[in-house]
A and B are shown apart, each in its own frame.
Chain A
Amino acid sequence: MSGHRAISTSAMLRPSTAQKAGRVALILLALLLLSGFLVLPVIAVFTQALSQGWKMYRDSIHQEDVLSALRLTGLVACIAVPLNMAFGIAASWAITRFEFLGKSLLITLIDIPLAVSPVVAGLMYVEVFGLHGWLGPWLSEHNLHVIFAVPGIVLATVFVTFPFVARELIPFMQAQGSDEEVAAVVLGANGWSVFWRITLPNIKWALLYGTILAASRSIGEFGAVSVVSGHIRGQTTTLPLEVEMLYNEYNFTAAFAAASLLTLAAIVTLILKKLIEMTSGVHRHMDEKEVES
């Protein structure tokens, strides 16, 4: 049959009616699962928060404890995120611009916080700074408080957000290469002006992307912070911990009202991420295929 030969291969891939139906069914199934599994919990947060009306919602949020938890969450993020930005830039500069022994080991070590349970992460700092920890006796002699105080919360938050900026920057800078920077140095630019004028403008979107991920996680971290916080209301309670405390007191409306603020932050995070992906072409790299190891 000579007519058969005329059919191009792309025509063979052209879906039949049954395949089209299958396609639509798969899309619908995915959407159904996604809405039941992801969207419904978000709607539930707002419904529960508003179940006693707007006034109750506003009053719940304007509680002094909730406001101070909000302030602490903001403070912790403002310390932890810039630290990890600095680390991310330094680590990716060293890893993508130089060849040295133990590089692939270093890349693996950076990922450790992603593998460790948040509770274990919190416990690690108790083992160093707690009363029975390595530095505990010395700290209490000098009347310094890390565990059950704000520094411990900052440390735990730094730990859980540790790899986010570095993991965005390393594949990105690897792909970009160092030609422009080398050219600038050869032409006589010094290190810092290369960094400010060439590197930083080139990596700004990837840096922002990683920063948003780190900020989002530091606002929402629960397990690690819970271990080192001591749950002192108004002093060492971050917003996620306040949600837990209100919930355990059966104050469900207030718990969901506080949770709705965190949910809004999460939604803003998702929107910002998508906007950066769309405008800059920066994508999340779950695997470091691009990283030479």
Chain B
Amino acid sequence: MPTKKANKSWSLVTRSSPLPGFRLSIGFTMTYLAVIVLIPLAAIIQHGARLGFGAFLHTVTAPRVLASYRVTLGCAAVAALLSALFGMLLAWVLARYSFPGKRIVDAIVDLPFALPTAVAGISLTALYAENGWIGRFLEPHGIHVAFTPIGIVMAMSFVGFPFVVRSVQPVLEDLDPAMEEAAASLGANVWQRFLRVIVPVAFPALLTGTALAFARAAGEYGSVIFIAGNMPMKTEITALLIVTKLEEYDYSGAAAIAGAMLALSFTIMLAVNLLHWWVQRREGKRV
């Protein structure tokens, strides 16, 4: 029977609570976290470490691997930028204007979260292929989307932009109209109000959303591999290279490249957390 005393006896607790269930809930949480996330993560890192620094470095800097970083990071960066623009526009329209069908539009924004990546992949490929609905208008102008880096960017933008919308939209909705009114009463025009009042407030959220979109794009697999064409050195993404290594039974190679990808993921995660911390501190000061 969990009681008040049970909580106090747990040395981690920094402030006692009359509620029961701390040991049970934290015990289950930590065990589950360890089994599902931490131990498997340790396994992959340990395999990478087992290779030794020289072999690890040799694997993750092989020409084909380096080329895959260029494709992945380059396309993810462009996709994140497009996501930021498109996402900001949608967040603005959804937060500021009312128009018929707004709720439907708001629901549709989450489609890339809900649509399985493989489905997005084959559908985008069908649209942008030479004879596709969109591709057939682009091909005569010499714009090839499917099986080129442009296709990779399209797929990555598709999965990334909802992160920007969902990060920025709440901030724009919470923005006090009094601030804009004050700026207007002081003679600021629309553009000045946008650049001086709205952008500074929304910028951290925009940055967070863009970072999340970039992280998702850099790790994306399902929607990209169908449209990419997967030519080594040209349109082969890093995630696919890991799968290729596995299919060749090169487990060490796969683990090493995965280690490099994990380093990138954790760097982005750290950056986003630092951004949160900075925003909270800044807001704390202002109040």
Contact = CB atoms under 8 A, between A and B. Distances in A.
Interface of A: 9-10, 12-13, 19, 22-23, 26-27, 29-31, 33-34, 36-42, 44-45, 48, 83, 86-87, 89-91, 93-94, 97-102, 106, 108-113, 115-120, 123-128, 130, 132-134, 155, 158-159, 162, 178, 181-182, 185-186, 190-191, 194-195, 213, 216-217, 219-223, 226-227, 240-241, 243-244, 247, 252, 255-256, 259, 262-263, 265-267, 269-271, 273-274, 278, 283-284, 286-289
Contact of A240 (B38, B119, B127): B119
A114 B120 CA distance: 19
B26 to A, nearest CB: 4
Given A13-B184, A112-B37, A116-B265, A29 B166 contact: no
Nearest to B15: A99
Given A30-B89, A118-B239, 6 more contacts: A30-B93, A40-B134, A87-B29, A115-B269, A128-B39, A190-B1
B258 A120 contact: yes
B12 A102 contact: yes
Q: Give the interface residue-count category, chain B.
A: 35 or more
Contact of B123 (A29, A42, A86): A42
Contacts of A98: 7, 13, 15, 17, 19, 22, 26
A93 B24 CA distance: 10
B123 A99 contact: no
B68 interface: no
A40 B127 CA distance: 8
Interface string B106-131: 11111111111111101110110000
A270 B108 contact: yes
Given A9-B184, A247-B226, A270-B108, A155 B7 contact: no
Given A109-B33, A266-B111, A182 B18 contact: yes
B221 A118 contact: yes
B28 A90 contact: yes
Given A40-B127, A86-B28, A94-B26, A243 B2 contact: no
Q: Which of A36, A109, A219, A252 counts the most chain B CB atoms within 10 A?
A: A109
Contact of B115 (A29, A158, A255, A263): A263
B118 A222 contact: yes
Interface of B is mostly: helix
A266 B114 contact: yes
A120 B205 contact: no
A265 B258 CA distance: 31
B254 A101 contact: no
Given A26-B92, A243-B122, A124 B40 contact: yes
B222 A273 contact: no
Interface in B133-179: 133-134, 157-158, 163, 166-167, 170, 177
Nearest to B96: A23
A221 B239 CA distance: 15
Query: Nearest 10 pairs between A and B by C-beta?
Result: A220-B116, A117-B219, A124-B40, A222-B222, A223-B221, A191-B20, A127-B43, A266-B114, A99-B15, A94-B25
21 contacts: A9-B182, A9-B184, A86-B28, A93-B21, A97-B19, A98-B13, A119-B258, A123-B44, A123-B254, A181-B19, A190-B1, A220-B116, A222-B221, A243-B116, A247-B122, A247-B226, A256-B123, A262-B118, A266-B116, A270-B114, A271-B107
Contacts of A40: 127, 133-134
Contact of A220 (B117, B126, B205): B117
